[in-house]
Every structure is written in C-alpha cells, then in structure tokens.
Amino acid sequence: MNEAQRQVLEFHEAFELGAPGSLDEGNFPAELRIRLIEEEASEFAEAARAGDVVGTIDALCDLLYVTYGAAVSLGIDIEPFFGEVHRSNMAKRGGSRRADGKWLKPAGWQPPDLQRILRERYGWIRE
C-alpha cells in the first residue's frame, strides 16, 4: 500500500468510518463513493475551467483522497492494480493519436489483467 492510501486508511480509522471492507462482504457503499467522486470531479472541472490553480490542485488532491477511500472501503491495496493499468496504458505506444491528444489502442493491445491480481492477492475467483 502506498503512503497516500495508508494516510486515507488512517483517516478512516480516526473518524471511525468502518474497518476496511472485503471484496466478498457486499457492503461497499457504492452510492456514497460515487457521490463523493462526482462532487470532487465537478469541483475540479469548475476550478480548472476558471484557471484557479490552487482550486485545481485542491480538487485533484480531494479526488485522490476519495478514490483511495473507495479502495479502502473495498479492502484492497490499489497500488498493484494501478501498476497493471499503467503497464497496459504504456502498451498503447505505436497506436494512433486522436485530434484531442488521446492515444488509441494499437492492434494487439491487451487490457489490464485486473482479474489476475484479484486472484493472486485476494483469492478472488469470480469472473
């Protein structure tokens, strides 16, 4: 677990937001997590569009905070999943680029294998 997620776990414990969840408990507070992420994304968009650098940075940090909080609520260490998504994104080299700057997936590109990490780290078998 990286330091940022550890700090959010500390926050959850200090404010008695419940112990880290489990993938199999079925008690992930999805609606709360969706609402928090949408709220922070909206604040980011507002600050970025206004050219408010401090507000943009604050919103980015808040987005990370609520995203790490969602991972804590799921009971997962997000770092290996992020690493796998990064590996997959880096494999887009050689693809084409859209007019807005987004890189597109080249032929043969493979999506991140998050199921493998779930299986290896958490014994999660569901497909």
Residues 17 and 62 placed together within one structural domain of the fold: yes
Q: Which of 10, 8, 14 is nearest to 36 (CA)?
A: 8
Q: State pLDDT tens for residues 87-119.
A: 999 999 888 999 999 989 999 999 999 999 999
For residue 120, give every residue at least 6 positions away whose Cβ sits within 8 Å of its Cβ, in sequence order, or none. Answer: none
Per residue in 13-26, pLDDT tens?
999 887 677 776 67
Cα dihedral 99, 48, 79, 11 in deg (nearest 10): -170
Name the residue range of residue 111's domain: 78-127
Secondary structure (3-state) at 103: strand
Query: pLDDT by residue (tens digit) across 53-91?
Result: 999 999 999 999 999 999 999 999 999 999 999 999 999
Instruction: Tell me the pTM.
Output: 0.89
- Number of domains making up the chain: 2
* 5-21 exposure pattern, b = at least 16 Cβ within 10 A, e = fewer: beebbeebeeeeeeeeb
Q: Identify whether residues 62 and 110 lie together within a single domain.
A: no
The answer to whether residues 70 and 37 belong to one domain is yes
Give the CATH number for residue 19: 1.10.3420.10
